[in-house]
Amino acid sequence: MRRLRAVNPDLPILARSTHALQRSALLEAGATEVIQPEFEAAQTLLRHGLERLGVPHDQIKTFMLRQEHALAHAELPEEAAPLELLETRTVTIGPGFCANVSLEQAGVRAHTGVSVLTVRRRDGTEVLNPPPETMMQPGDQVTVIGMSDQIALFERLNAQAEARGQRPGP
């Protein structure tokens, strides 16, 4: 690479690396970009999964760019605190928000941006990847995925609806 760089300093040089330590050495040797196949495959799987969960493309792109930045710098950028990345949380459905209505009727994703991954009923049965017509019942334990602020909104609306006995408006 150094010889290529000496002949043509503007030549784009793409290199392949199987380990993060190799990445730094290849960049120092003159590579323009270093491709890590395992990371690229993981990004593709993650992107497809997030698309299937209905996560908006701009959020997926932001998340992917943060992951690439973290790989390149071996740390998260200052503006991307770890809590800004996707997380899951289990929340108990109270008597208000989502109670006795379907996911679709409650508009969980539309109101909060979170996706419901599982619903665990009081009797222990579980609904994995629940369809829109899945009815939420008070006491259900739902596991949601989203950015931390989206999950916080879901929890807040759930608590407010319990206090007021009403569902959030559009």
The domain in which residue 59 lies consists of 2-81
pLDDT at 96 over 70: no
- Specify whether 17 is located in the same domain as 77: yes
91 is written with which tokens? 């929340």
Residue 99, domain CATH: 3.30.70.1450
Q: What is the mean pLDDT of the chain?
A: 81
Assessment of whether the complete model's pTM goes beyond 0.75: no
Mean pLDDT of 145-170: 72
Q: Is residue 68 part of a domain?
A: yes
Closest CA to 144 of 82, 92, 83, 74: 92
User: So what's the pLDDT on residue 140?
Assistant: 94
Closest CA to 110 of 121, 99, 102: 102
Query: How crowded is residue 56: how many other Cβ atoms within 10 Å of its Cβ?
Result: 11
Among 33, 54, 81, the domain-final residue is 81
Give the dihedral of Cα atoms 21, 22, 27, 28; nearest 10 deg. 80
| Digit-coded pLDDT (tens) for 71-92 | 776 544 444 444 356 788 999 9
Q: Is residue 75 part of a domain?
A: yes
Residue 34: pLDDT band (50, 70, 90) is confident
Q: Is residue 170 part of a domain?
A: no
Q: CA-to-CA distance for 109 and 115, rounded, in angstroms?
A: 6
Mean pLDDT of 138-152: 90
